[in-house]
Amino acid sequence: MAEFFEVLKTRRTVRAYTDQPVQQEELHDLIRMAVLAPSGMNAQPWAFTVVTKQDVLRKLNGIVKDFLRTPAIQQVMQSYGMADRINHPDYSIFYNAPALVVISGDKSNPVAMADCHLAAENLFLAAHARGLGTCYMGFLTMVRDNPTVKDLLGIPEGHEMMAAAIVGHPAGPPDGPPKRNPPRVEWVR
Ligand SMILES: Cc1cc2nc3c(=O)[nH]c(=O)nc-3n(C[C@H](O)[C@H](O)[C@H](O)COP(=O)(O)O)c2cc1C
């Protein structure tokens, strides 16, 4: 159990990866850990799309970068001080990771979004416990309605992308412990 808390305390977002691919069986194993997450009514409304084809990742990166260049999004990125980073011609939303895992959820299930994110967190922690790195792909989820994106990912009928993460072997040592503000806690007793 102590080891589990160590996994929680040391997981960080990884944005630099080696060229080493992640074995298919290892990715499968992470998904087996992901689906141990709780889900509303145990409906398990998730499906997993694993992309290791670099050509598909390149196309998705291009679509997301075009979207990030739109004026409304640029304004938001500027307000977060992120515009310079994402506008750099060498920036890839996938940080050259060898694998992308997209979790799509059944659109007719009202709590699928929560379920898919609980599964995603399981996957993050399981990956870290195995020495793999992950990064949530928020920019990719912003283009979930783009028909080309849906096509490239083969999102199942009736599903939509709800969470996404890259997975790979970290290129360097992990960053220090997560930087967190003390939690705001209101007690009602
Ligand atoms: C909903 C969500 C969206 C995110 N989107 C991105 C993203 O598109 N690109 C990226 O590099 N990091 C993304 N992140 C990673 C966060 O920046 C990161 O979790 C945060 O800075 C805290 O760092 P830590 O994960 O190392 O503790 C996202 C995280 C979450 C939870």
**Cα distance between residue 80 and residue 152, in whole Å:** 30
Is residue 177 lining ligand 1, measured as CB closer than 6 Å?
A: no
pLDDT for residue 11: 96
Split at pLDDT 50, 70, 90, the class of 2 is confident
What average pLDDT score do residues 171-189 get?
Answer: 92
For ligand 1, atom 14, the nearest C-alpha belongs to 136
| Residue pair 137/93 in contact by the 8 Å Cβ criterion | yes
What confidence score (pLDDT) does residue 151 get? 97
**Quick one: pLDDT at residue 120?**
98
CB atoms within 10 A of CB 155: 18
Give the Cα separation of 29 and 58 in Å (integer). Answer: 25
Q: What is the pTM of this model?
A: 0.97
Structure confidence at residue 88 as a pLDDT band (50, 70, 90): very high
Residue nearest to atom 4 of ligand 1 (CA): 138
pLDDT of 179: 87
3-state SS, residue 189: coil
- Which pLDDT value is given to residue 182? 96
Task: Check pocket membership of 15 for ligand 1, CB cut-off 6 A.
Answer: yes
Cβ 107 under 6 angstroms from ligand 1? no
C-alpha of residue 156 to centroid of ligand 1, in Å: 26
User: For residue 112, with 0-12 CB atoms within 10 Å meaning exposed, 13-18 middle and 19 or more buried, which class applies?
Assistant: buried
Are 163 and 103 in contact by the 8 Å Cβ rule? The answer is yes
Q: Which residue has the CA at smallest separation from atom 13 of ligand 1?
A: 136
Question: What is the DSSP track for 132-158?
Answer: -EEEE-HHHHTTTT-HHHHHHHTPPTT
User: Is 90 exceeded by the pLDDT of residue 1?
Assistant: no
Distance from residue 13's CA to the centre of ligand 1 (Å): 7
Res. 111 pLDDT band, cuts 50 70 90? very high
Is the distance from the beta carbon of residue 139 to the nearest atom of ligand 1 less than 6 Å?
A: yes
- State the average pLDDT over residues 25-41: 98
Q: Is ligand 1 within 6 A of the CB of residue 117? A: no
Q: How confident is the model at residue 131 (pLDDT cuts 50, 70, 90)?
A: very high
Helices (H), the chain: 2-10, 24-34, 54-68, 71-79, 83-87, 112-129, 138-141, 147-153
What is the chain's alpha carbon radius of gyration, rounded to the nearest angstrom?
A: 17
Mutate to test the pocket of ligand 1, among 7, 13, 123 (most ligand atoms within 8 A of CB): 13
